[in-house]
């Protein structure tokens, strides 16, 4: 089985750049996407229900903002989109699909920077992390869980090209890194880093100006985290920087069932 995650930075825009071709060529069984930025009725039928795929969407209440989805080859047995907190649910940041005992979450974690880049959203971001952590801790008791998405946090200096210049930037603040480390300490496995320990230069997001992507000046903020029972099934973890269509690139894992 293959699970892939991609922040598409607007599904309709990404579709014009080859999203459906990527979906068919991905060899994935489950694809989680983030930043859909559209209501389901605004999507072309080819995106709402691609041939051979089942699609589940969780939009934000605000038009053109956030939103997540899961495409799967098989229909999920159960879908959840709520953390039972309106301030989180209104932003369309979570969808969890159950396939038997296996659970796969597509998550768009908040940015902490705020509109004015003043880090005013950091408390909200950390509250979202904490609420989702509590939900997933319960879920992993029932079976293997993969949490795929844009975490908007680089946990270690090796996870961004210029750590020294970003110590006061949301995404690399000490409190954000500490929260993600709390997940790792609780047994959640960063699948890519587990299989590629200490390797630098692996990024999943680049600024859209200044030649950042061409020069590989990026951040690794997209992850597939696995519960302990899920991590034991992982055979490979990968990043696909050659796939364009968004300012992020796809990440994923291969696993045995």
pLDDT tens-place string over residues 158-173: 999 999 999 999 999 9
* Catalytic annotation, pick one of 150, 159, 190, 254: 150
Residue 224: which domain range?
A: 2-255
CATH number for the domain spanning 100: value is 3.60.10.10
User: How buried is 39 (Cβ within 10 angstroms: 0-12 exposed, 13-18 middle, 19+ buried)?
Assistant: middle
Alpha carbon distance 242, 127 (integer Å): 34
pTM for this model (two decimals): 0.97
**Which residues does residue 33 pair with via DSSP β-bridges, in sequence order?**
6, 69
pLDDT at residue 117 is higher than 90: no
Structural domains in the chain (count): 1
Residue 115 pLDDT: 81
Tens digit of pLDDT for each residue in 143-161?
999 999 999 999 999 999 9
Percentage of the chain lying above the pLDDT 70 cut? 100
Could you report the per-residue pLDDT of 74-105, keeping only the tens digit for each? Answer: 999 999 999 999 999 999 999 999 999 999 99
**Does the annotation mark 134 as catalytic?**
no
pLDDT at 245: 97
Backbone angles phi, psi at 189, to 5 degrees: -110, 125
Model confidence at 197, pLDDT cuts 50, 70, 90, reads: very high
| Token pair recorded at residue 166 | 């970003």
Mean pLDDT value of segment 206-220: 97
């Amino acid at each position: 089985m293959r699970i892939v995650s991609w922040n598409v930075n607007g599904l309709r825009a990404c579709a014009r750049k080859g999203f459906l071709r990527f979906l068919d060529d991905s060899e994935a069984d489950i694809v989680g996407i983030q930043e859909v930025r559209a209501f389901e009725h605004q999507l072309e039928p080819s995106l709402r229900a691609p041939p051979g795929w089942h699609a589940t969407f969780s939009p934000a209440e605000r038009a053109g903002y956030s939103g997540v989805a899961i495409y799967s080859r098989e229909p999920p047995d159960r879908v959840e989109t709520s953390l039972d907190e309106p301030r989180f649910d209104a932003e369309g940041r979570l969808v969890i699909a159950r396939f038997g005992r296996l659970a796969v979450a597509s998550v768009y974690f908040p940015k902490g920077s705020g509109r004015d880049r003043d880090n005013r959203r950091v408390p909200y971001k950390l509250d979202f992390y904490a609420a989702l952590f509590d939900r997933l801790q319960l879920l992993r008791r029932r079976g293997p869980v993969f949490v795929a998405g844009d975490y908007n946090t680089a946990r270690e200096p090796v996870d961004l090209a210029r750590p020294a210049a970003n110590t006061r930037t949301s995404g690399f603040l000490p409190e954000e890194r500490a929260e993600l480390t709390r997940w790792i300490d609780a047994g959640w496995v960063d699948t890519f880093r587990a299989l590629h320990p200490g390797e630098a230069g692996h990024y999943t997001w680049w600024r859209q100006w200044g030649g950042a992507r061409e020069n590989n000046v990026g951040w690794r903020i997209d992850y597939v985290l696995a519960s302990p029972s899920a991590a034991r099934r992982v055979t490979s973890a990968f990043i696909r920087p050659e796939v364009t269509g968004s300012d992020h690139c796809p990440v994923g894992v291969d696993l045995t069932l």
